[in-house]
Amino acid sequence: MPALEVEGLARHFGEREALSGVSLTLAERQTLVVFGPNGAGKSTLLRILATLLRPHAGSVKVLGSSLPDEAWAARGRLGLLGHEPLLYRELTAQENLRFHARLHDVGEERVAEALEAVAISTRAAEPLRNLSRGMVQRVAVARAVLHEPELLLLDEPYSNLDPAAIELVEPLIGPSCGRTRVICSHDPGGGLAEADAVLGLRNGRVALAANANEVQPSQIAELYR
């Protein structure tokens, strides 16, 4: 069974059409990288797959559950790492992760493990507002994988991270994590290296859909022209 099955997906915000006629299929443990200029609909697609936005037309199946009717069954099996870290600035990294652990019915020991994995343990007792953006992004990575999701939805996941931090989070959200992944990226080289499949969006429509080994970087560059 594919992890994702999307057919003729459309979504609009008022008069503006954010997505139209988007179709894709992704097998389990594969990585789909979504390219496209700002406003192409990448984040909207990710939020629909995360069950946070309703599709207005078409069919969407995430981990076998049809959205929006069976969204409840997909929640808890997916992890979202978007532009916002989904963390409270006034709480510490530890308090934030404990809160998410309780929401996902995950044991307290996972909190310590996750903090250790992103090397935040020594700053775990400080409010997030005291941490740098890169550190907050590392905590956000820990939050996204805390409940061991099967599907990761990643919107420019390496933004704000330095090379050492990228190396640190690789085992959690990188190619070796063993999870199905959908990644929104603006980096043709890095994105293609991680991808099994590529989706290019322009003005909310599919401009490129192919296996990664069939795509040339120039085709991706074309999306941004």
User: Between residues 78 and 197, which has the closer beta carbon with respect to other proteins?
Assistant: 78
> Which residues have C-beta within 8 Å of that of residue 103, sequence separation ≥ 6?
none
Q: Please, which residues bridge with residue 200 across strands?
A: 35, 208
Task: Report whether the peptide linkage leading into residue 68 is cis, meaning its omega lies within 30 degrees of zero.
Answer: yes
> Which residues have C-beta within 8 Å of that of residue 18, sequence separation ≥ 6?
11, 12, 41, 44, 204
User: Does 78 engage in binding with other proteins (CB under 8 A)?
Assistant: yes
Which structure tokens are listed for 185?
Answer: 């990226």
User: Does 54 engage in binding with other proteins (CB under 8 A)?
Assistant: yes
Got the DSSP string for 122-183?
A: GGTTSBGGGS-HHHHHHHHHHHHHTT--SEEEEESTTTT--HHHHHHHHHHHSGGG-SEEEE
How many residues touch other proteins under the rule CB under 8 A: the total is 28
Q: Could you tell me the smallest distance in angstroms from the CB atom of residue 99 to other proteins?
A: 5
Binding test (CB under 8 A) with other proteins, winner from 8, 27, 59, 103: 103
Q: Taking contact as CB under 8 A, which single stretch among the options 58-66, 89-97, 115-123, 170-178 is the one that binds other proteins?
A: 89-97
Q: Could you tell me the smallest distance in angstroms from the CB atom of residue 136 to other proteins?
A: 11
Which residues ranging from 115 to 174 are in contact with other proteins (CB under 8 A)? 127, 143
User: Does 82 engage in binding with other proteins (CB under 8 A)?
Assistant: yes
**Residues binding other proteins (CB under 8 A):** 50-54, 72, 75-76, 78, 80, 82, 84-91, 95, 99-100, 102-105, 127, 143
